[in-house]
Amino acid sequence: MAEQQQQPKHKRTISRYLQQSHERIFENNRKWVESKTRSDPEFFAKLSAGQSPEYLYIGCADSRVPANEIMGLDAGEVFVHRNIANMVPNTDLNVMSVINYAVRHLHVKHIVVCGHYTCGGVKAAMTPADLGILNPWLRGIRDVYRLHEAELDAIPDEKAKYDRLIELNVVESCRNIIKTAAVQQSYQDNQYPIVHGWVFDLKDGLLKDLKIDFEAMLEGIKKIYNLASSPDRRASTTD
């Protein structure tokens, strides 16, 4: 009985807490607008004229890796796609349309794939468990493991092995981006975009550049994945 009486009060507390967290976002938003307008009265007028970001960022959905914050970039500077474990499956219409739009319409100069150590998605992918709808998405990470099985199996330390798989997953996403017609054709015509692979370290907040050799990777995949020229080169129609 006592428990039954407490239940509604408990629920009220939770709902009040949630309401506050919800309101906080709107309050913060107003504060941000004020501070931006104070330092640059034209800030929002410039943004409403359009966007011309130099970067496309493809990163993890993880709340601890906010793209603009970790790069020190402002609103308008980076086009962003975030999904579970920063994957770039070549049959995924969602990420493919982001790349296509960023390359063919926004003409971004750099594409960054950013993973992060202690990635829950990579961890989940290597867990021998049925995770429902996540299975097909995370299977891509198991494929990365299979592609680099010899290297990964040779790492005795489990933590080091997990870190390396996170890095290799970023490299594979970069390779998948380079496989697209949009990137190959734009690079052939304009010498951009360049693809970069990074890993964010939650321990110190620093980005580690995996220093992917873009030119070499592009050359390397061309034997099999060359889409630089298509019979009619219909502008912006393929990927």
Partner 1 sequence: MTVTTNSFDRILAGNAIFARRLTLREPELLAKTAKGQAPEVLWLGCADSRIPETTICDCKPGDIFVHRNIANILTPDDINSASVIEYAVGFVKVNRVMVCGHTKCGGANAAMGDDDLGDILNTWLEPMRALRRQHKSELDKLLTADAKANRLAELNVFRSLEVLKQNPIVQKAMAERGLTLHGLLYDIPAGELLVLEDGKTHVTATTETQHRLNR
Instruction: Supply the residues annotated as catalytic.
Output: 60, 62, 64, 116, 119
* Structure tokens, 222: 């061309």
Q: Residue 92: count other Cβ atoms within 10 Å of its Cβ.
A: 15
37 versus 188: smaller Cβ distance to partner 1:
37
Which of 6, 10, 40, 47 binds partner 1 (CB under 8 A)? It is: 47
Please state the closest distance from residue 83 (CB atom) to partner 1, in A.
5
Per the annotation, does 60 bind a ligand?
yes
Q: Which stretch binds partner 1 (CB under 8 A): 80-88, 150-158, 164-172, 218-226?
A: 80-88
Q: Figure out which of the listed residues 76, 152, 167, 210 binds partner 1, where binding follows CB under 8 A.
A: 76
Given a contact cutoff of 8 angstroms between Cβ atoms, the answer to whether 63 and 46 are in contact is no
- For 106, counting Cβ atoms within 10 Å of its Cβ (0-12 exposed, 13-18 middle, 19+ buried), the class is middle
CB of 51 to partner 1, least distance (A): 5
Evaluate whether 141 touches 87 at the Cβ level (below 8 Å): yes
Q: How far is the CB of 154 from partner 1 (least distance, A)?
A: 28
CB 59 within 8 A of CB 67: yes
Residues near 73 by Cβ (< 8 Å), separated by ≥ 6? 55, 67
Is 119 annotated as a binding-site member?
A: yes
For helices 158-178 and 181-190, give the axis angle rounded to 10 degrees: 70
Candidates 1-9, 42-50, 150-158, 221-229: pick the segment binding partner 1 (CB under 8 A): 42-50
Q: Using CB under 8 A, which of 62, 163, 169, 187 touches partner 1?
A: 62
User: Other C-beta atoms within 10 Å of 21: how many?
Assistant: 9
Binders of partner 1 among 180-199, rule CB under 8 A?
194, 196
Which of 6, 7, 10, 61 is the binder for partner 1 (CB under 8 A)? 61
Residue 167 and residue 10: Cα distance in Å, rounded?
Answer: 44
Q: Which residues are annotated as a binding site for Zn(2+)?
A: 60, 62, 116, 119
